[in-house]
Amino acid sequence: MRKLLVFLVASVAAISSKAQIGEHRNVVSLGVNGGVALSNVSFVNEVKQGMHSGMTGGVTLKYTCEKYFKTICSLVAEVNYANIGWKENILDKNDEQVVTSDGAALSYVRNMHYIQVPLFANLAWGKEEKGLQFFFQIGPQLGYCIGESYSSNFVSGDLGSGNMQIDRYSNRVSQTVAQDTMAVEKRFDYGIAGGVGVQLSLPHVGRFLIEGRYYYGLGNIYGDTQRDAFKRSNFGNIVIKMTYLFDLINKKKSI
């Protein structure tokens, strides 16, 4: 954790220091982004899962401050809504889907609704004003859970009400079921996000970006003491998104 924070601070400091030795840029771009978030939660004790899919989208602000040799340096901030969570893969000892008495496969999906704020140091190579540009970005991300819900065919009741009921099927290989009825305990989330992508710039039209991103949560959604149900319960997200930006300010001497 310490090493990651040092790296991030050093990245931002390096971008700022380049103002003295590189080619100055003053480009402020604003726009919108949207895409899909594939997520799960790393539970310990383990909970078998598939990938939960949900939408994500929000606003993006980008400040391009410097070109150092062929590297274009920027700072990027976003405010996003994201539907993330987990989707359980409920198997028996033969690794087959557990079914109810009427033959339906057991299913459980938790949907958690977050406001997320990632902050990135962005390094790019390629065309600035017309053409393609490849970029890499990394930085911290903060999040806050504003709500949650679930869909299941074997759990009934409201999360956190204390009156939920769960059918415990004896042929279920994993008897770890506490997560199915527990509301999130720690709504504030934090971690590290990074991604790569390409940007297409078109004069008088704007900038179009496609990016793949990974987020690793450093916090847990449940308590992690010896008395709690889980020692770890942190998020991992894969995000694929598109962004459209238009320039509010664009002052530079060369491309």
Domain CATH number, residue 46 = 2.40.160.20
pLDDT at residue 124, as a whole number: 97
With CA atoms as reference, report the closest residue to 193 among 13, 32, 37, 18: 37
pLDDT at residue 15, as a whole number: 53
With CA atoms as reference, report the closest residue to 151 among 114, 112, 99: 112
Phi-psi region of 38 (alpha: psi -120 to 50; beta: other; left: phi over 0): beta
248 vs 19 pLDDT, higher one = 248
The pairing of strands 206-217 and 232-251 is: antiparallel
pLDDT at residue 19, as a whole number: 45
232 vs 158 pLDDT, higher one = 232
- Number of domain units in the chain: 1
73 vs 172 pLDDT, higher one = 73
CB count within 10 Å of CB 245 equals 22
For the residues 133-151, what does the mean pLDDT come to? Answer: 97
Write the DSSP symbol of residue 14: H
| CB neighbour class for 165 (10 Å; exposed up to 12, middle 13-18, buried from 19) | exposed
140 vs 204 pLDDT, higher one = 140
Res. 183: pLDDT tops 80: yes
Sign of CA dihedral 221, 86, 141, 115: negative
Least confident of 3-7, 46-50, 204-208: 3-7
For the residues 31-54, what does the mean pLDDT come to? Answer: 96
pTM: 0.87
Residue 173 exposure: Cα atoms within 13 Å on the Cβ side = 14
CA–CA gap between residue 56 and residue 89 (Å, rounded): 23
Query: 3-class SS at 92?
Result: coil
Average pLDDT along the chain: 89
pLDDT at residue 253, as a whole number: 46
For the residues 225-231, what does the mean pLDDT come to? Answer: 92
CA–CA gap between residue 215 and residue 239 (Å, rounded): 8
Task: Name 68's Cβ contacts closer than 8 Å, sequence gap at least 6.
Answer: 18, 21, 22, 23
pLDDT at residue 212, as a whole number: 98
For the residues 30-57, what does the mean pLDDT come to? Answer: 96
Res. 21: pLDDT tops 70: no
Domain that holds residue 26: 2-251
